[in-house]
Amino acid sequence: METKSYDLAVIGAGPGGYVAAIRAAQLGLSVACIEAEAALGGTCLRVGCIPSKALLESSEKYEEARHQLAVHGVIVGEVGLDLAAMMRRKEKVVAMLTRGIASLFKKNGIATIRGRATLLGGGRIAVAGTDGGRELEVTAARIVLAPGSVPSTIPGIALDGDCIGTSTEALAYSEVPAHLVVIGAGVIGLELGSVWRRLGAQVTVLEYLPRILPGTDDQIAEEALRLFQKQGIAFHLGARVTGARADGRGAVVEAEGMAPLQCDRVLVAVGRAPNTAGLGLEAAGVAVDRRGLIAVDAQYATSAPGVYAIGDVIAGPMLAHRAGEEGIACVERFVTGYGHVSYDALPAVVYTHPEIAAVGKTEQQAAAAGIACRVGTFPFRGNGRARTLEQVDGLVKVVADARTDRILGIHILGPRAGDMIAEAAVAVELAASSEDLARAVHAHPTLAEALKEAALAVDGRAIHA
C-alpha cells in the first residue's frame, strides 16, 4: 500500500479542519487534509451555514416583495415563487465557496486526500476510497481530528431521508410543504422553519422546553417568540416529541400531552452529535466523554500522543467560527508555542428575521455565577435608522458588572443584529466598560446607535428612550 508522510494530517475539511490546514501551511508545515466528501468545506459550506443563509436571504426577499414593499410606496405586480431557481442559486453559492477552499489548498501547497480516514495508532491513518478506489496510508507527526458533527434524532423517530428528515433534507425540499412540523425550537428549527413559513408553508414547532432557543437571554427569547408567532409560526412549548412516522399521506408526529399532528413533512432539529463512527478512536487510544465528544485538554490534545481535536467534535457551541479559531490556535501552538481562543467573546447569531445575536454572558448566567450586574436596554423603535428601514422590532441589551462596569454580555434582537454583534464582540474581547461603549462616537443614522444607547441606558442616560 502506498504511504505518504507529512508534518501534519488534518481529518475533515470543514471550517475547523480547512482553517487549521491553511494556518499550519502558512507556518511552514507540510500538511495533508483528508476529506471523505467530494466537496471541501464540511457541514458549514455543504449543508449548513452557507446553504441555509442563501435560502434565508432568498426567502426574505420573497417575503419582502409580497408583504413589505407597499409601505415604502413600491408597488409590485403579482409575486411568484420559482423554488427550483432559488435552490439552483443556493447550489451555485455553495459550489463557488467549496471550490474556493480547493484553490486555497492549492495556493498553500496543502495535499488534499479524498477518502474516509481511520486512525491506526502511532501517527498512522488508513484512507479508504481515495480517487481511483485505492487504499492509502498517511503518516504524520501530528494529527488534528476535525470530523465535525451529524444530525441527532430521538428514540421513536426513524429518519427516512424524505418525509421525516433533518436540516439536510429541509435545505433541499423540491416543493413547499403544505404543513411542516419542526421538532426543536433551537437554531436550526427557527432558521429553517422561517424559510419555509416565508415560502408559504404552515409551520408548527414542537419544543420540549417551556421556551425557545435555550441558552439565549430570557427577555430576548420571549420577545423573539412573540415576533415569530406574529409572523405565523405556531409553537407548542413544553411538548416532548415521542415519535413520528410516515403514513402514506405524509407523517404523523406524536408528543406528550397533545393530539397527534398530521403533516406533510417533519424537520427533526433536536441537536447534533459528534461524527466519530469509523474514525478508529478506540484503537488509537482517543478517549471520548459520556456524550461521545472527543475529550481534549486546553491545548486541544486528546488522550493519544500527537492527536488533537477541534470543532464540533469537542465540547462547546457548535459554531463554524469557533471551529476555525480552534484550528488556528491548535496549530499555532505546534509551531509558536502559543495560541488562544477567547471563548468569553465568542459571538453567536440566529439568522431569523429579525436576527438574534449575542456575545458573552446573559443576565441569567451572570446571576447564576453570583455576579451582580447592571443592565441597559434600548428598543429599536427609538432608533432612527430602524424607522427608515421600517424594522422597529427588537432591542439591544447590555449586561455590565455592577462593581467594575466591565461589559459581561451584549444581546441583540433586531435588524442586522448579526453584523452589529461584531462591535459588541470587540468590546467584550477588549474588556470594555459600558462607559467605553457609551462614549464611543457612533455614526448617525445607524442601527449601531442602538448599542450606544443601550450602553448609556446602563446608567439611565439613554437619549432617545
Report yes or no: 181 and 251 within 8 Å, Cβ to Cβ. yes
Give the nearest distance from C-beta 122 to ligand FAD in angstroms: 18
Per annotation, catalytic residue among 72, 442, 444, 464: 444
Phi, psi (rounded to 5 degrees) for 355 = -75, 160
For residues 428 and 152, give the distance between their C-alpha atoms in angstroms, rounded to a whole number.
Answer: 33
444 is catalytic: yes
**336: part of which helix (H) or strand (E)?**
helix 320-336
Q: Which is nearer to ligand NAD, 6 or 351 (CB)?
A: 351
- Mark 425-448 as b/e (b = at least 16 C-beta within 10 Å): bebbeeebbbbebbeeebeeebbb
Give the nearest distance from C-beta 340 to ligand FAD in angstroms: 19
Query: Is 13 a residue that touches ligand FAD (CB under 6 A)?
Result: yes
Query: Which partner, ligand FAD, ligand NAD, none, binds residue 34 by CB below 5 to 8 Å per kind?
Result: ligand FAD
Q: Which is nearer to ligand FAD, 149 or 434 (CB)?
A: 149
- 10, 25, 43, 427: which one binds ligand FAD (CB under 6 A): 43
Q: Which is nearer to ligand NAD, 127 or 349 (CB)?
A: 349
Q: Which is nearer to ligand FAD, 410 or 457 (CB)?
A: 410
For residues 245 and 227, give the distance between their C-alpha atoms in angstroms, rounded to a whole number.
Answer: 31
Q: Which is nearer to ligand NAD, 185 or 407 (CB)?
A: 185
**451: part of which helix (H) or strand (E)?**
helix 449-457
Residues 255-294 that bind ligand FAD (CB under 6 A): 275, 279
Site pattern 199..228 for ligand FAD (x: CB under 6 A): ------------------------------
Report yes or no: 152 and 174 within 8 Å, Cβ to Cβ. no
Nearest to 9 by CA among 126, 102, 101: 126
Query: Which partner, ligand FAD, ligand NAD, none, binds residue 209 by CB below 5 to 8 Å per kind?
Result: ligand NAD
Query: Which partner, ligand FAD, ligand NAD, none, binds residue 312 by CB below 5 to 8 Å per kind?
Result: ligand FAD
- 147, 165, 193, 409: which one binds ligand FAD (CB under 6 A): 147
Give the nearest distance from C-beta 36 to ligand FAD in angstroms: 4
Q: Which residue has the cell 462616537?
A: 441
Query: Is 418 a residue that touches ligand FAD (CB under 6 A)?
Result: no
For residues 342 and 285, give the distance between their C-alpha atoms in angstroms, rounded to a whole number.
Answer: 29
Query: Which partner, ligand FAD, ligand NAD, none, binds residue 116 by CB below 5 to 8 Å per kind?
Result: ligand FAD
Residues 345-384 that bind ligand FAD (CB under 6 A): 351
Q: Which is nearer to ligand FAD, 25 or 386 (CB)?
A: 25
Query: Which partner, ligand FAD, ligand NAD, none, binds residue 377 by CB below 5 to 8 Å per kind?
Result: none
Give the nearest distance from C-beta 44 to ligand FAD in angstroms: 3
Q: Could you tell me the three cell numbers for 235? A: 409553537
User: Residue 300: what residue type?
Assistant: Y
Give the nearest distance from C-beta 191 to ligand FAD in angstroms: 7
Site residues (vs ligand NAD, CB under 6 A): 154, 183-189, 191, 206-209, 214, 240-241, 269-272, 317-319, 348-351
For residues 50 and 288, give the distance between their C-alpha atoms in angstroms, rounded to a whole number.
Answer: 29
For residues 204 and 11, give the distance between their C-alpha atoms in angstroms, rounded to a whole number.
Answer: 38
Give the nearest distance from C-beta 193 to ligand FAD in angstroms: 12
Q: Which is nearer to ligand NAD, 200 or 271 (CB)?
A: 271
Phi-psi category of residue 300: left, alpha or beta, with phi > 0 → left and psi -120 to 50 → alpha: left
User: Residue 313: what residue type?
Assistant: V
Report yes or no: 269 and 182 within 8 Å, Cβ to Cβ. yes
- 12, 189, 250, 354: which one binds ligand FAD (CB under 6 A): 12
Give the nearest distance from C-beta 187 to ligand FAD in angstroms: 7
Beta bridge partners of 204: 181, 234
For residues 382 and 313, give the distance between their C-alpha atoms in angstroms, rounded to a whole number.
Answer: 42
Could you say which DSSP state residue 260 is in?
-
Query: Which partner, ligand NAD, ligand FAD, none, binds residue 189 by CB below 5 to 8 Å per kind?
Result: ligand NAD
Query: Is 57 a residue that touches ligand FAD (CB under 6 A)?
Result: no
C-alpha angle 190-191-193 in degrees, rounded to nearest 5 = 60
Beta bridge partners of 181: 204, 266
3-class SS letters over 60-76: HHHHHHHHHCHHHCCCC
Site pattern 292..331 for ligand FAD (x: CB under 6 A): -------------------xx-----xxxx-x--------
For residues 5 and 10, give the distance between their C-alpha atoms in angstroms, rounded to a whole number.
Answer: 12
- 48, 123, 274, 379: which one binds ligand FAD (CB under 6 A): 48
Q: Which residues are catalytic?
A: 444
